[in-house]
Structure 1
Amino acid sequence: MITPRTIVLGQTVHLEVGDFTVVSYANGSYRLRDELTGEYQVLHHSELAQQLPPGESLETADPVDTWPLQDVLDGLKPVKKALIPYLQQLIDGTPIDGGEPNPSFALDISKTKRLDYTIEALGKVGIDMPLGSLKRDLGKFEKKGIAGLVDRREGRKEAAFARVHEDVQRALAEILVGYKGKSTVTYTAIRAELDVLLMDRFPTPEDRPKMPSLSTLERLVKHMSGNQNPTTQAKRRQTAALSPTGMHRPRLVFGPGDECQMDATTLDIFVRMPSGKVDRPHLTALVDKRTRSVVGLNLTESDPTSIDHAVLLAKALVPRRLRPWAKDYDSFGLPRMPWTKHLSKKQIETFDSYCPYIFPTRILIDNGADFKGTVFGLACERYGVSLTEAPIHDPTAKAVVERFFRTVKTKFCQFVPGFSGGSVANKGADTVRGALLTLAELGELLEKWTCIVWQNRRHAGLEDDYEEGLDHSPNTMYAACIELTGHFVLAYEEEDFINLLPTEERTVQAGGIEFDGRKYDSPHLAPMRNRKRGSDNATPKVVIHYDPSDEHRIWLRSPDDAGWITCHWTKERGMARPLDEAIALDAHRRALDNISFSDAEADVMMVRFRNRAVSESVDAVAQEARDKKKEEKEQRAANTLANILTPDTDSSNDFTNFAALEAAAR
């Protein structure tokens, strides 16, 4: 606990109006005697503190000063004990070994040099001390002797903002609750609200608690509001409010198609629609969670309907057909997928054997009316596909497909002509004036990018379990999963050797504890999630124990020291099926042996695809213009010839103009 400031009877207090001696104390007030005139006056303790001159304060009663010398020495750390003779040598030149004085520490030597010599001498005995720390210890030693070296921070357990009046904290809490769902404000506005509320509740200034300073109010608001700080962006607060407060439970899937996520978005590209207008198309995507493979895509001119989703499902249930650009697979050296070994020669020539074929057994959708339409529901029911609606106000329920949309924007859309920038502020003035793709051309380009780039690009969500920094592509993960199945088993428990395991310090976040690139979580971490220190608003760290040969679990002590908390890896293979280990190993080997693209290579390929698509589009437009011009020229020549050969009824013109006839024939 912080040592309180006290006044001792008989102490001399230096006020702005003179020096006074403390005579007595009663009912919160001091009786003071003027040392110059001998007159007495009574001051309340708060008024006495306010009349102290700037820079002065009441004396502090330090209990360490009353300790016996041996108790003071026992309370010192070993480093501080070893520092005492060096500090004494700095003050008066007394040698540390009791021998002859060291000339380097003579009093005529400057203090700066003596400090440098001391640091050098401490380094020789294995004590590494910065110059600033040595200066602070020297000042404490000169002022209070050995007692000044005692660490007074140990045992301090004062609660956060214990010095802020309870009425102030209660009033501020009411104000913060009132800002829920409101626009962003500043700390000065919150302080004004607090000031008015306190004045209304405590009309008498003597009874009114002291208002905290702006900096104290800022720290108090951050401590009390958490992720609902009214000074942060309203959209960020709204998103943070949707985050679950309990343990995060990821929906683990075993094989391809066990869960496919479906959603729609508006692409940030202006294209020429079949109707002739220029607008942004709507993209509907069906993405497999286990492998991150794109099961199906659909581009529509307007908002997709239930019928559009049924069409997309039909496309997903049938393997992709070979496209004219399929020769690019061989040019990049991409392998065929394992499922194609069961196809006949004719089927291999028909189907795209370089892409996965995934049958979606369950599709996760949102609560939109188009996804809950009758046509789409009946189509799924006919083919045995289960539909699951995502929870309301849960932005992370379809994180896989949302991540796909973000990658489409950054890795595809910004390279295509007509890129809108994603917002009005980023849209260029000439966005829709250049060469734009048609909706069909955009669909062909997007399909090509998906099959070649996305399916073979390393994905951060498919991290390798055996080599840090190695990620899998959707195709390599699919190839590893396609032929392996299994069943669930229970995870084993071991706690006997926890105390002997190595330790690390980590923070407990909303999603658990991140360690070695993995997330670990437990329902018993609830009291420690997003906990903040009152002094600096920092997240305190906890000590975790881990087994280097077992990445499935970590352990830490419970807050009340009641026992160990076992935190499991959120993607733990033991919670899935036993052959998950074989899948991970096979995926690891395939990721090392097969070709996959980095982000830079993917961007370069997208530029090449863009240039080729734009070039073909421009050539087609130019050829169409040339054909039209030629047709107009031929039509003009035919009209001229017809006018010449038409008989003239005028008797004065009985002869044919052969010169004009020859010119028209040419």
Structure 2
Amino acid sequence: MIAQRTIALGQTVHLDAGDFTLVSFANGSYRLRDDLTGDYQVMHHLQLALLLPPGQALATSDPIDTKPIDEVLDGLDDTKRAIIPYLQQLIDGTPADGGEPLPEFATHVSKTKRLDSTVLALSKAGFEVPLGTLKRRLAAFEKKGVSGLVDRREGRKEKAFARVPDDVQTALAKLIVSYEGKSTVTYTAIRAELKAALMDQFPDPADRPKTPSLSTVERLVKHMGGDQNPTIPAKRRETAALSPKRMHRPRQVFGPGDECQMDATELDILVRMPNGEIGRPHLTALVDKRTRGVVGLNLTEASPKAIDHAVLLANALVPRKLRPWAKDYDALGLPQMPWSKHLTKEQSTTFDSYRPYIFPSRILIDNGQDFRGTVFGAGCDRYGISLTQTPIHDPTAKAIVERFFLTVKTKFCQFVPGYTGGDVLKRGKDVAKGPLLTLAELSELLDRWTAIVWQNRRHEGLEDDYRENWSHSPNSMYAACVELTGHFVLAYQEEDFIALLPRDERTVQSDGIEMNGRMYDSPHLGPLRNRKRSDNSTPKVVVSYDPSDEHRIWLRSSDDAGWITCYWTKERGRSRPLAEAISLEAHRQTLETLTFSDEEADDMMVRFRNEAMTESTDRATAAALEQKKKNKEKTATETLANILTSDTDSSHDFANFAKLDIG
């Protein structure tokens, strides 16, 4: 707050004509007396203000002294208001209670005794005021009256550098600048660097200014560094440095499509990609500045390329067909867009007439390589769309689409299964467990949320000029613009949509067309199946596909009568009753029970084989030992029988006993 400058009667002002004393004031004019000649002149206060030299420092009177007495009393506490009569009693002996004068406060009594008596009287009245405090209150009261009791420290602000030498300020400023682009440090490190810088600059300790304390360094760095404070995370400092220092000059637009901002971001959601892996998809959005309406969206597995932006442009130019969730429009009572009355009867049954159709006359993009690709540029040239690149390192150039991404995170992502929290510290350990949406399902859900919620939600950027704290929705703003700006639509057809899609060559097999590990088929592929050339080679057909849509592909019919739409055969099989419930239950059972991958199954088979081989070898060895034992027993039995049946007396024949090896 800038202090108010005032002048008072009796003050001397220095003008070009000399020094003058303000004598009196009446009817807006001052009467001045020339200090040199003593002559008087009358001057209007506005003329006096013009004659004062630039930077004239007039004496500033204390604003408290100019306040009415009742306002000053209202600003005092109970104790200060209570001691006012006692202070007056100390000065002239006037009784504090309005009664008879007390002898102990007579003017001939010493001031010391009167002060002691006042402290005792205040204590009996319930106010404990120390003697030293009473002396200071008396001195201020004698000088300025009641206004002297006001504490001047209240509301007083000392300048940040009032007690810091200029050399210290300069050294600290250079130090803060040197941390640009470096990692984050602490105030302790900054103070140590400041101390070293002062020692290098002032080798003589007698001339060296004192290094400020740690708390003072912290206060000064916060004041001088601002958003470039070296203790702030480096990424935040880098982002803050990109903010333009010039005056903000917004680009005004008139009608829908005059400027559409396009950008991409990685969503904080884990989804199941078409290849079966789990990852975070990338969202590319095209948002209209005038209405805040979403012109087009596109979800991709990885960072988008120029061909992905061409697909988004196709989705933006060709209105999307009515979704299965179109009944929500009727359930919520949402009105149809004014542009739908210009559609033909056939178009009205295929186009989503509840959503604005905005042709992007100019698209604002950044300097990314994906936006400067030839495919995307050729698509824009085909339809007369201008591409404008934003200045380098200017994050505020596409503020509208950046705000859309923030709303998607807070109003959409955190309610979807697989939400990661947007930060490692906020991410749960079981995020990837449980049912996750596929990329196609997430795209359908986001499209539904955009059409129903975003387009009909009031936005702070669309303020109402006639009602306070009221805003418009993108749909209501678009409806207002249609009639007044002449923004009428001519919807593009399927031919324009497919023309912007990427293409590839494939062969038509007996069971359809294979693409990206999926089979697509249509009854209209009959004449194209299993064709052969004279050299026995298989001819290929040109297939158009949407990278973000795994359910269908397109190719020209053999008689060039139109496009043949081929659908994913497995997706058709999923439409059977309870198929989705069975898939979800199988997913849950797989997570909760023990299962083997192919590698684990092979390792298990090798272990089983080795165990089986070992058991087989052990059984064979045991059988061989058993057979050998049986053979020995049989030989011993036969030898004993021969001895017992022999006619000769061979009981002393030791050679026969050697054969009786019965172990």
Of residues 60, 64, 77 in structure 1, which corresponds to 2:66? 77
Per-residue deviation at 1:153?
Answer: 8.8
Equivalence for 1:236: 236
Equivalence for 1:620: 579
CA distance in structure 2 between the partners assigned to 1:243 and 1:105 by the alignment:
73
CA distance in structure 2 between the partners assigned to 1:441 and 1:74 by the alignment:
69
- Residues 364, 210 of structure 1: alpha-carbon distance in 2 compared, 3 angstrom cutoff: same
Q: 1:429 aligns to what SS in structure 2?
A: coil
- Residues 616, 240 of structure 1: alpha-carbon distance in 2 compared, 3 angstrom cutoff: farther
Equivalence for 2:480: 480
Contact 1:104 1:114 (8 Å CA) reproduced: no
The residue type equivalent to 1:302 in the other structure is: A
Per-residue deviation at 1:100?
Answer: 8.6
CA distance in structure 1 between the partners assigned to 2:430 and 2:208 by the alignment:
63
Equivalence for 2:470: 470
CA distance in structure 1 between the partners assigned to 2:168 and 2:225 by the alignment:
15
- Residues 346, 104 of structure 1: alpha-carbon distance in 2 compared, 3 angstrom cutoff: farther
CA distance in structure 1 between the partners assigned to 2:257 and 2:420 by the alignment:
34
Q: Deviations over 1:138-186 (max 9, x none)?
A: 66432454326568899x9997524322222222222122111112222
Q: 2:359 aligns to what SS in structure 1?
A: coil
Per-residue deviation at 1:211?
Answer: 2.2
Per-residue deviation at 1:295?
Answer: 0.5
Equivalence for 1:300: 300
The residue type equivalent to 1:300 in the other structure is: T
Of residues 83, 89, 93 in structure 1, which corresponds to 2:85? 89
**Please, what is the CA RMSD of the aligned residues?**
3.9
Per-residue deviation at 1:275?
Answer: 1.8
- Residues 394, 626 of structure 1: alpha-carbon distance in 2 compared, 3 angstrom cutoff: closer
CA distance in structure 2 between the partners assigned to 1:92 and 1:626 by the alignment:
91
Per-residue deviation at 1:285?
Answer: 1.0
Q: Deviations over 1:269-306 (max 9, x none)?
A: 22222222222222111111111111111112222111
Per-residue deviation at 1:73?
Answer: 12
- Residues 105, 75 of structure 1: alpha-carbon distance in 2 compared, 3 angstrom cutoff: farther
Equivalence for 1:445: 445
Q: 1:484 aligns to what SS in structure 2?
A: helix
Equivalence for 2:277: 277
Contact 2:261 2:289 (8 Å CA) reproduced: yes
Contact 1:437 1:617 (8 Å CA) reproduced: no
CA distance in structure 1 between the partners assigned to 2:337 and 2:62 by the alignment:
75
Q: Which segments of 5 or more consecutive residues in structure 1 lack a partner in the other structure?
A: 1-71, 117-130, 487-614, 628-666
Per-residue deviation at 1:389?
Answer: 0.7
CA distance in structure 2 between the partners assigned to 1:419 and 1:75 by the alignment:
59
CA distance in structure 2 between the partners assigned to 1:428 and 1:616 by the alignment:
33
Q: 1:334 aligns to what SS in structure 2?
A: coil
- Residues 266, 227 of structure 1: alpha-carbon distance in 2 compared, 3 angstrom cutoff: closer
TM-score by length of 1: 0.56
Contact 2:88 2:94 (8 Å CA) reproduced: no
Q: Deviations over 1:35-69 (max 9, x none)?
A: xxxxxxxxxxxxxxxxxxxxxxxxxxxxxxxxxxx
Per-residue deviation at 1:257?
Answer: 0.4
Contact 2:284 2:298 (8 Å CA) reproduced: yes
Per-residue deviation at 1:455?
Answer: 0.7
Of residues 111, 115, 121 in structure 1, which corresponds to 2:122? 111
Greater displacement, 236-245 / 427-436: 427-436
Aligned-pair identity in percent equals 63
- Where do residues 37-436 of structure 1 align in structure 2 (5 Å cutoff)? 76-79=65-68, 88-91=84-87, 93=89, 101-102=97-98, 111=122, 140-147=136-143, 160-436=160-436
The residue type equivalent to 1:267 in the other structure is: L
- Residues 619, 382 of structure 1: alpha-carbon distance in 2 compared, 3 angstrom cutoff: same
Contact 2:195 2:211 (8 Å CA) reproduced: yes
Per-residue deviation at 1:360?
Answer: 0.3
Q: Which segments of 5 or more consecutive residues in structure 2 lack a partner in the other structure?
A: 1-60, 74-79, 103-117, 487-573, 587-663
Contact 2:85 2:96 (8 Å CA) reproduced: no
- Residues 616, 287 of structure 1: alpha-carbon distance in 2 compared, 3 angstrom cutoff: farther
Q: Deviations over 1:465-520 (max 9, x none)?
A: 2222212111111111111139xxxxxxxxxxxxxxxxxxxxxxxxxxxxxxxxxx
Per-residue deviation at 1:112?
Answer: 6.2
- Residues 140, 456 of structure 1: alpha-carbon distance in 2 compared, 3 angstrom cutoff: same
- Residues 290, 78 of structure 1: alpha-carbon distance in 2 compared, 3 angstrom cutoff: closer
CA distance in structure 1 between the partners assigned to 2:202 and 2:469 by the alignment:
61
Per-residue deviation at 1:256?
Answer: 0.7
Contact 2:270 2:436 (8 Å CA) reproduced: yes
Q: 1:302 aligns to what SS in structure 2?
A: coil
Q: 2:334 aligns to what SS in structure 1?
A: coil
CA distance in structure 1 between the partners assigned to 2:416 and 2:577 by the alignment:
14
- Residues 441, 226 of structure 1: alpha-carbon distance in 2 compared, 3 angstrom cutoff: closer
CA distance in structure 2 between the partners assigned to 1:164 and 1:623 by the alignment:
74
Contact 2:366 2:390 (8 Å CA) reproduced: yes
Q: 1:230 aligns to what SS in structure 2?
A: coil
Q: Deviations over 1:635-656 (max 9, x none)?
A: xxxxxxxxxxxxxxxxxxxxxx
Contact 1:90 1:114 (8 Å CA) reproduced: no
- Residues 214, 277 of structure 1: alpha-carbon distance in 2 compared, 3 angstrom cutoff: closer
The residue type equivalent to 2:87 in the other structure is: I
Greater displacement, 180-189 / 363-372: 180-189
Q: Does 1:457 align with 2:457?
A: yes
CA distance in structure 2 between the partners assigned to 1:236 and 1:115 by the alignment:
57
The residue type equivalent to 1:284 in the other structure is: T
TM-score by length of 2: 0.56
Contact 2:363 2:385 (8 Å CA) reproduced: yes
Per-residue deviation at 1:427?
Answer: 2.7
CA distance in structure 2 between the partners assigned to 1:433 and 1:157 by the alignment:
57
CA distance in structure 2 between the partners assigned to 1:204 and 1:348 by the alignment:
87
CA distance in structure 2 between the partners assigned to 1:414 and 1:167 by the alignment:
52
Q: 1:299 aligns to what SS in structure 2?
A: strand
Per-residue deviation at 1:200?
Answer: 2.3
Contact 1:363 1:388 (8 Å CA) reproduced: yes
The residue type equivalent to 1:436 in the other structure is: L
Contact 1:93 1:102 (8 Å CA) reproduced: no
The residue type equivalent to 2:357 in the other structure is: Y
CA distance in structure 2 between the partners assigned to 1:416 and 1:625 by the alignment:
16
Contact 1:95 1:101 (8 Å CA) reproduced: no
Contact 1:179 1:230 (8 Å CA) reproduced: yes
Contact 2:262 2:287 (8 Å CA) reproduced: yes
- Higher RCO structure (Cα 8 Å, ≥6 apart): 1
